């Protein structure tokens, strides 16, 4: 299969060189322009919790939830200023929704859990299928359905695949200004250009180069076991790794 439509976005605004100063400057910049958006996060593990920290630093209004009660997120809420809510409330009136949970829990999400988001608001999913390590066997994925296509079917909404292959500590600390040497690139798969543009902007704002990884049907190119998964590549190497990926799951990433 030929790989097409690879691109990167322009930075949304000029960044600064130091991360702490950058976060503070970015937050002031966004608030002056009134550009902060409402973000709902379903899942507060390594990636969901890290995104809560980073996105609140940038001045966004974040509602965060987990599989338990809001009270269990009181420390994260106090640390970040995010609002802890029930999972069913996270997407309410959101400009962007992020689903970041163990893959085995996806079918147990409440029906219509992202339906209360604003019209056209994109849904990011960061999930990975770990059949031997955590999730057990998911028949559809084992039979070749890309993980993100399966997630989209489960939640009844289009999704964008991103943040699934980066180590959470690197997501927390390795964001860099646009154009900086060594800036990590993150692939984004999804079908709708308008929503993808919003996701590109968030990725860039977090300090990473967004790379268009094609349609959701091609999101297998960034699944566990592919050349890109777990790598901190720049744009060129990311494009190469996406092109070299195979849809065949290796033994480590198939159910035993």
Q: In this predicted structure, what is the pLDDT of residue 101?
A: 98
Using the predicted structure, report yes or no on whether residue 134 has a pLDDT greater than 70: yes
- The pLDDT of residue 35 is 80
Give yes or no for residue 19 having a pLDDT over 80.
Answer: no
Question: What is the arithmetic mean of pLDDT over 146-164?
Answer: 98
Q: Where are the domains of the chain?
A: 19-253
Q: What share of the chain is helix, strand, coil (3-state, %, to 5)?
A: 40, 10, 45
For residues 241-251, average pLDDT:
96
- Mean pLDDT across the stretch 180-191? 98
pLDDT reported for residue 22? 43
Percent of the chain with pLDDT over 90: 85
Question: Considering the chain, what is the average pLDDT of its residues?
Answer: 90
The residue ranges of DSSP E strands in the chain, in sequence order, are 38-42, 61-65, 83-84, 96-99, 123-125, 160-161, 185-188, 209-212
CA-based nearest residue to 22, from 164, 206, 225:
206
What lies within 8 Å, CB to CB, of 116 at 6+ separation is 91, 92, 93, 94
Quick check: 125 pLDDT over 50?
yes
Rounded distance between C-alpha atoms, residue 94 and residue 98, angstroms: 10
Q: Which CATH architecture has domain 19-253?
A: 3-Layer(aba) Sandwich (3.40)
Q: Which of 52, 96, 101, 40 is nearest to 78 (CA)?
A: 52
Q: Which two tokens stand for residue 243?
A: 């092109």
């Amino acid at each position: 299969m030929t790989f097409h439509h690879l691109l990167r976005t322009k930075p949304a605004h000029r960044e600064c060189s130091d991360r702490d100063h950058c976060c503070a400057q970015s937050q002031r910049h966004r608030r002056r322009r009134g550009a902060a958006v409402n973000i709902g996060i379903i899942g507060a593990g390594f990636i969901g919790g890290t995104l809560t920290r980073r996105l609140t630093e940038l001045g966004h209004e974040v509602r965060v939830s987990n599989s338990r009660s809001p009270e269990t997120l009181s420390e994260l809420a106090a640390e970040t200023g995010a609002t802890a809510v029930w999972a069913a409330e996270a997407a309410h009136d959101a400009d962007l929704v992020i689903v970041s949970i163990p893959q085995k829990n996806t079918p147990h999400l409440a029906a219509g859990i992202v339906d209360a988001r604003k019209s056209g608001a994109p849904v990011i999913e960061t999930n990975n299928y770990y059949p031997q390590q955590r999730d057990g066997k998911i028949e559809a994925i084992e039979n070749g359905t890309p993980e993100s296509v399966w997630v989209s079917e489960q939640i009844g909404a289009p999704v964008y695949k991103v943040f699934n292959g980066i180590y959470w500590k690197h997501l927390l600390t390795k964001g860099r200004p646009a154009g900086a040497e060594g800036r990590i690139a993150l692939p984004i798969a999804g079908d709708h250009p308008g929503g993808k543009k919003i996701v590109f902007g968030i990725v860039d704002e977090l300090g990473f180069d967004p790379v268009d990884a094609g349609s959701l049907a091609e999101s297998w190119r960034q699944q566990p076991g592919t050349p890109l998964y777990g790598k901190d590549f720049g744009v060129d190497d990311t494009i190469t790794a996406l092109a070299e990926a195979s849809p065949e799951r290796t033994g480590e990433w198939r159910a035993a």
